């Protein structure tokens, strides 16, 4: 049954990606989610010409563990520091996209941060500044 579920999910993503070919999508991941959890989704979207920017919270061990499990054939990730000035961050994100990579913007993970949280705020600001077609907030 899970293979039918996976096929349906892939077909939904393919349909969405075909509708938005060439568009930019900014995705903010919350909770315990990691880039590796979305590797198949990112590959499929990329195959249909949909560019993605991921915004994630920094893990206790730093940015490396967030993307280490996501590297593989057909996917290149560039880790960027979300604390840098907006102009520099925008330029770095655009440069990564031009190279065909998926920028992964890592933001600090303060303990007492209130909703909407730094990852969501940065994702919204990036989506606005970069002219993204969609902003997705993926939470658990």
Instruction: From 70, 71, 89, 72, select the one nearest 80 (Cα to Cα).
Output: 89
Question: pLDDT tens, 35-94?
Answer: 777 777 777 777 788 889 999 887 644 455 555 555 555 568 888 999 999 999 999 999
Average pLDDT of the chain, as a whole number: 80
Q: What pLDDT is recorded for position 49?
A: 83
pTM of the model: 0.78
Percent residues over pLDDT 90 in the chain: 26
Neighbours of 94 (CB within 10 A): 14
């Amino acid at each position: 049954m899970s293979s039918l579920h996976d096929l349906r999910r892939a077909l939904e993503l393919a349909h969405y990606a075909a509708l938005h070919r060439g568009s930019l999508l900014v995705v903010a991941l919350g909770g315990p989610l990691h880039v590796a959890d979305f590797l198949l989704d990112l590959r499929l979207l990329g195959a249909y010409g949909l560019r993605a920017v991921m915004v994630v919270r920094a893990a206790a061990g730093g940015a490396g563990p967030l993307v280490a499990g996501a590297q593989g054939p057909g996917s290149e990730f560039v880790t960027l520091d979300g604390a840098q000035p907006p102009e520099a961050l925008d330029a770095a994100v655009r440069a990564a996209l031009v190279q065909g990579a998926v920028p992964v913007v890592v933001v600090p993970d303060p303990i007492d941060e209130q909703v909407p949280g730094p990852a969501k705020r940065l994702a919204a600001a990036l989506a606005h500044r970069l002219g993204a077609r969609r902003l997705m907030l993926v939470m658990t």
